[in-house]
Structure 1
Amino acid sequence: MVWIVVGCNCLIAIIALWVAWQLVKLRQTLRGVARALLDAERSTHGVLGGAPQVIMIGQRGVAGLRSQLPRWGRQQRNVRLFLTLISWISRYSTPWLRQRRR
């Protein structure tokens, strides 16, 4: 009877030792994962640290461009009219220039 109790206690001790060893391995793995995440956070913070200011500057620039779009539309329309006028002049004045040269 004593041998059965001693055997059960040894079996429980071996199982507890195995569980403790697994917990130590898990702790080491989690420590490595935590270090990798901290390194990734540091590197991304270094790269993206100034991003909010740059994004705000870009947003201000886009807002400025959007406010100027109506004016650019008028300028584009004026340039098109000017180029159309020049093309008409060159197209219809060419026969007159040929007649004058003769």
Structure 2
Amino acid sequence: MVWIVIGCNCLIALIALWLAWQLVKLRQILRGVSRALLDAERSTHGVLGGAPEVIIIGQRGVSSLRSQLPKWRRQQRNVRLFLTLISWIGRYGVRLQRRKR
């Protein structure tokens, strides 16, 4: 009977030792993951640290361009009308010169 208890205790001790070893390995893995994440955070913070200011400047520029877009569309329409008029004058001018000859 004593041998059964000693055997069970030894088995429990081996299982506990194996679990402890697995926890040590898991701790090392988690430590490595933590270091990698901290390094990545430092890197991205260094690269993207000034991004909010740049984004705000870009948004202001886009807003400014959008506010000027109707003016540009009017100018584009006027240029098209002018070019169309010049094209008509060119066509009809050639026809009128041919008729005069």
Alignment of 1:1-102 (within 5 A): 1-98=1-98, 102=101
CA shift, 1:21, in A, is 0.3
The structural deviation recorded for 1:3 is: 2.0
> So what's the TM-score if we normalise by structure 2?
0.88
Q: CA deviation at 1:83?
A: 0.4
| 2: CA distance, partners of 1:67 / 1:4 | 88
- Alpha-carbon separation, structure 1, partners of 2:96 and 2:4: 125
Amino acid at match of 1:47: V
Post-superposition offset of 1:24: 0.3
Other structure's SS at 1:74 match:
helix
Distance 1:91 1:47 in 2: 60
Consecutive unaligned residues in structure 2, runs of 5 or more: none
Q: Distance in 1 between matches of 2:47 and 2:39?
A: 12
Compute the TM-score of the two structures, normalised by the length of structure 1. Answer: 0.87
State, as a whole percentage, how many aligned pairs show the same letter. Answer: 81
In structure 1, list runs of 5 or more residues that go unmatched: none
State how far apart, in whole Å, the 2-side matches of 1:13 and 1:95 are: 110
Shift of 1:20: 0.3
Q: CA deviation at 1:5?
A: 2.1
